[in-house]
Amino acid sequence: MADFGADVELEDFRAEAAAWLKANFPAALAGKAAMSTDRAGTGDIAKWRKAIGEKGWATPTWPAEYGGGGLSPAQARVLAQEMAKIGAFNPLMFGMGVTMIGPTIMDYGTDVQKKTHLPPIIRGEVQWCVGYSEPGAGSDLASLQTKAVDNGNGWTINGQKTWTSGAQYSDWCGCLVRTDPSAKKHDGISFMLIDMHQKEIETRPIALIAGASPFCETFFTDAKAPKDALLGQLNVGWTVGKRLLQHERASQTGASMGGRAVSLDQIAKNYVELDAGGRIADLDLRTRLTRHLMDAKVHGLTLARAMAEAKGNADPGNAPSVLKNSATNVAQTRAELTLEIFGHQGLGWEGAEFTREELETVRGWLGGKAMSIYGGSSEIQNNIISKRILGLPDNTQST
Ligand SMILES: Cc1cc2nc3c(=O)[nH]c(=O)nc-3n(C[C@H](O)[C@H](O)[C@H](O)COP(=O)(O)OP(=O)(O)OC[C@H]3O[C@@H](n4cnc5c(N)ncnc54)[C@H](O)[C@@H]3O)c2cc1C
């Protein structure tokens, strides 16, 4: 039997969320999510950040005691839907505090660490980066060599990280370091919260062919961290580090998105020839588009089911590996199909002959290639699915 009480509660919340958004989201920002990728900002964007930060709705399911929204996952989904409806966006998604570090601090942090680090993340006052990958440690992360040595007063850190997203703008780094080089590869690793504001840490942005530098090489030369910088216990950082990756994958499943405003078949109808019945005339394109729309729908429904089954359980488990691969597949296929549908208009990089949406699609298509690499590549997710979900024999130590 349907739980009418729960439905009523959600409809009440939907009305509350819509009213709050109407009063606080500056209408001039509708659809301008791209403006929110860093902390710099004035006027409307600064106002929006302050309002949502104080309300706690940039971290809707985080505990209210630290300033989070205190919402259930279902309420958070409703909030995301209401935001999508009016082109609102989460302006505090810069850096990795909200998606990865904060949830991991909630899982493993001491009371002091929670009280110190969570409120500034919730209010969008600090930026975090994640220092995992090294030149010799990517998928095989446990090969990492950056060392932290106990100097009596705290830790001295030496080594190099790479692909550290946003390190050049970050205040803090959640870092995996080797604290016992004599232990086995997956042991002797610790998770450390490192203050980036010290001259012993140098960030060198890696320039991409398109000019942007989203990530850095990060060098630690006698960098320092206090004794209580450990998140979780000494030498069991592998466990903490895996949990952070589960949170990262959970943030890449599309769960925080309220859905696309314009369906791809609607976009297609503005670009390609239609038959007498108003359908896309090219049967092959129509078939592939239909398959994609079905995949997207199935992904959305599976996501909703996974969230309902989780019932607020904060442990993301291994299901995000399935959902991350599925979200990647849906997003990359949508981008490929959109470019194909645009035809020549899907070849632009700049210029007045292209619309903003066309240019953004090209950049999104290129940027979207990274989805199957970061947070653990698609092949690594397949390894996790086969080992940890399907229980198939272990043939790798790298996940
Ligand atoms: C946009 C972007 C942002 C990133 N941000 C960060 C960040 O902020 N912090 C950070 O620490 N890192 C970051 N990374 C690095 C990312 O985590 C690594 O690139 C990723 O883990 C893969 O490691 P690798 O590049 O060394 O590739 P490799 O590990 O060398 O893999 C190369 C290929 O081999 C495959 N492969 C490797 N091992 C296996 C296996 N056991 N079974 C099957 N196939 C395998 C991989 O799937 C891949 O296709 C970022 C990467 C990108 C693209």
318: containing domain: 252-389
Does residue 371 belong to any structural domain of this protein?
A: yes
Do residue 256 and residue 378 come from a single domain? yes
User: In this predicted structure, what is the pLDDT of residue 395?
Assistant: 66
User: In this predicted structure, what is the pLDDT of residue 394?
Assistant: 78
For 359-371, write each residue's pLDDT tens digit. Answer: 988 988 988 888 9
User: In this predicted structure, what is the pLDDT of residue 151?
Assistant: 97
User: In this predicted structure, what is the pLDDT of residue 3?
Assistant: 44
pTM for the model stands at 0.87
Q: Which two tokens stand for residue 311?
A: 């019932």
Do residue 360 and residue 318 come from a single domain? yes
Query: How many domains is the chain built from?
Result: 3
User: In this predicted structure, what is the pLDDT of residue 255?
Assistant: 61
Q: Which two tokens stand for residue 44?
A: 């409307």
Do residue 385 and residue 257 come from a single domain? yes
Does residue 398 belong to any structural domain of this protein?
A: no
Q: Which of 236, 271, 294 is the last residue of a domain?
A: 236
Does residue 107 belong to any structural domain of this protein?
A: no
- What is the mean predicted confidence (pLDDT) over 225-239? 97
Do residue 260 and residue 212 come from a single domain? no
Do residue 271 and residue 357 come from a single domain? yes
Mutation pick for ligand 1 pocket among 133, 164, 328, 396 (CB with most ligand atoms within 8 Å): 133
Does residue 121 belong to any structural domain of this protein?
A: no
**Whether the predicted pLDDT of 142 surpasses 50:** yes
User: In this predicted structure, what is the pLDDT of residue 5?
Assistant: 46
Does residue 171 belong to any structural domain of this protein?
A: yes
User: In this predicted structure, what is the pLDDT of residue 9?
Assistant: 78
Looking up residue 188, the CATH number of its domain turns out to be: 2.40.110.10
Band the pLDDT of 119: cuts 50, 70, 90.
very high
Nearest CA to ligand 1 atom 37: 139
**Whether the predicted pLDDT of 261 surpasses 50:** yes
253, 300 contact by CB (below 8 A): no
Band the pLDDT of 35: cuts 50, 70, 90.
low
Question: What percentage of the chain exceeds 70 in pLDDT?
Answer: 91
Do residue 169 and residue 263 come from a single domain? no
Do residue 212 and residue 271 come from a single domain? no
- What is the mean predicted confidence (pLDDT) over 330-359? 93
Nearest CA to ligand 1 atom 27: 138
**Whether the predicted pLDDT of 113 surpasses 60:** yes
Ligand 1 nearest atom to the CA of residue 139, by list position: 29
For 16-29, write each residue's pLDDT tens digit. Answer: 999 999 999 999 99
Q: Which of 236, 263, 280 is the last residue of a domain?
A: 236
**Whether the predicted pLDDT of 399 surpasses 50:** no
**Whether the predicted pLDDT of 209 surpasses 80:** no
For 43-73, write each residue's pLDDT tens digit. Answer: 899 999 999 999 999 999 999 999 999 999 8
Band the pLDDT of 115: cuts 50, 70, 90.
very high
Neighbours of 278 (CB within 10 A): 8
Do residue 261 and residue 383 come from a single domain? yes
The contacts found for 360-369 with CB under 8 angstroms, 24 or more apart, are 360/34, 361/335, 363/210, 364/335, 365/335, 365/336, 365/338, 365/339, 366/210, 368/331, 368/332, 368/335, 369/332
**Whether the predicted pLDDT of 1 surpasses 80:** no
Largest CA distance in the chain: 80
Do residue 261 and residue 382 come from a single domain? yes
Looking up residue 259, the CATH number of its domain turns out to be: 1.20.140.10
Residues with CB under 6 A from ligand 1: 129-133, 138-139, 163-165, 215, 370, 373-374, 376-377, 379-380, 383, 396, 398
Average pLDDT over all residues of the chain:
90
User: In this predicted structure, what is the pLDDT of residue 152?
Assistant: 96
Ligand 1 nearest atom to the CA of residue 367, by list position: 1
Mutation pick for ligand 1 pocket among 96, 372, 373, 392 (CB with most ligand atoms within 8 Å): 373
- What is the mean predicted confidence (pLDDT) over 247-266? 71
**What are the catalytic residues?**
248
Beta strand ranges found along the chain (DSSP E) = 128-131, 147-150, 154-165, 172-178, 189-195, 201-206, 215-226
Does residue 396 belong to any structural domain of this protein?
A: no
For 269-297, write each residue's pLDDT tens digit. Answer: 899 999 999 999 999 999 999 999 999 99
Does residue 335 belong to any structural domain of this protein?
A: yes
**Whether the predicted pLDDT of 39 surpasses 80:** no
Ligand 1 nearest atom to the CA of residue 131, by list position: 11
